[in-house]
Amino acid sequence: MKRKVVIVTNKLSEGAGADELDVLEQADMVANACEKLGYEVARMEMGLDLQSAISRIREEHPEMLFNLVESLDNKGEFAFIAASVFSSLGIPYSGTPVIPMFLASNKVLAKRELVRLGLPTPKWFGADEAALLDPRKRYILKPIWEEGSLDLDESSVFYGTDERMKETAASKSREHYFIEEYIEGREFNISILGGLDGPEVLPLAEMQFLDFPAGKPKILGYRSKWEEESFEYTHTTRTFQSGEQDRVLHLRLIELCEACWKGFGLKGYVRIDFRVTKEGEPLIIDINANPCLSHSGGFAAALEQAGYSFTEAIRRILADAVGSGQWAVGSRQLAVGSRQ
């Protein structure tokens, strides 16, 4: 009898945009990989009616849940609730556990944890602390809970002398927005894949901002991720190429990724974003637990660069969740570390 995996996605909001619809592609990809591995696959949506979701999960009798819930009611601050529900049911589930998921989902809490762990991150302020900003520096107004660069574009970047933006920041809820020092430098988005042998830092991806006009902020905002006809989308690329001159920097980036994985208690698959100062110091700007798995995303690109099939990545994510290299079916078992 086949073991069952239930893939759980967030219920889409009415008129969902590209950032929400992307989860459907991810679910298709995961389902296909699980079927190749010999599992029985079921799919379900999860909304704010948690009792209904719990009842549906119990009816399916799964041995594993694959957590693709990115939000509930299209609100990122509810993303951790899915992991909490799965944990309460005592059913193994993919990806990051509930407590580190909560920490990583809240960017301010994540930064506080980074500081506690002695890991570098840009200086930040509450949305109501604009009076403390240095007039010589640039800053970025960020949402605390949202992923996928929602509510983030070049207009979010401002100088400490910009009174209009300081007033805008002050009008925002401190529970939902914060101000971070804008680092003018290189950006790296680095994926980590779990497994029974521990976390593996995949090939390091650097984001390149091509032909950006002078003064235009180089950020991965909403347009650069989702609006395919925009300048930001067509002029932002990913490269895995680097020279010997970056060897020391790359070793430091890998060290920081491993420290985040261990310090936060991450599992499954993660992407960590960095900005590197002009002096060559890498600073952690975001920890993405359970990042996007779609073909166009950074995690899939890193897997391809490393020579791993998507199916092998899913096998490792499942094994990391249950702590067993034999969580596969009959003759279709794959050895840990295989790139099949």
Beta strand pairing call for 4-10 and 124-126 = unpaired
Distance in angstroms between the alpha carbons of the first and the last residue of the chain: 24
- Residue 328 to residue 293: CA distance in whole angstroms: 21
* Weakest-pLDDT range from 94-98, 172-176, 261-265, 298-302: 172-176
Q: How far apart are CA 324 and CA 317, in angstroms?
A: 11
What's the alpha-carbon Rg for the chain, to the nearest Å? 20
CA dist 260 and 117 (Å) reads 9
Q: What is the pLDDT of residue 336?
A: 34
Does 329 score more than 50 pLDDT?
A: no
Per-residue confidence (pLDDT) for residue 17, from 0 to 100? 83
pTM assigned to the model: 0.91
Measured distance CA(221)–CA(86) in Å, rounded: 32
Tell me which residue has tokens 């570390």. Answer: 337
The pLDDT tens digits for 236-285 are: 899 998 878 899 999 999 999 999 999 999 999 999 999 999 999 999 99
Query: Cα(95)–Cα(93) distance, rounded to whole angstroms?
Result: 7
* CA torsion angle 252 257 261 266 (round to 10): 180
List CB contacts of 197: < 8 A, sequence separation 6 or more: 336, 337
Residues 75 and 151: their CA atoms lie apart, in Å, by: 12
CA 193 to chain centre: 12
Domains of the chain with CATH codes:
4-96 (3.40.50.20), 104-120+184-304 (3.30.470.20), 124-181 (no CATH)
- Convert the pLDDT of each residue in 141-194 to its tens digit: 999 998 755 667 888 999 999 999 999 999 999 899 999 999 999 999 999 999
Burial of 170 (0-12, 13-18, 19+ CB in 10 A): middle
Cα 277 to Cα 234, 250, 280, 282: the distances in Å are 25, 14, 5, 6
Q: For every residue of 100-133, which 3-state class applies, written as one string?
A: HHHHHHCHHHHHHHHHHCCCCCCCEEECCCHHHC
pLDDT digits (tens, 9 = 90+) for 33-89: 999 999 999 999 999 999 999 999 999 999 999 999 999 998 999 999 999 999 999
Q: pLDDT tens digits, residue range 105-139?
A: 999 999 999 999 999 999 999 999 999 999 999 99
d(CA 263, CA 199): 13
Pick the closest to residue 64 from 89, 47, 84, 32 (CA basis): 89
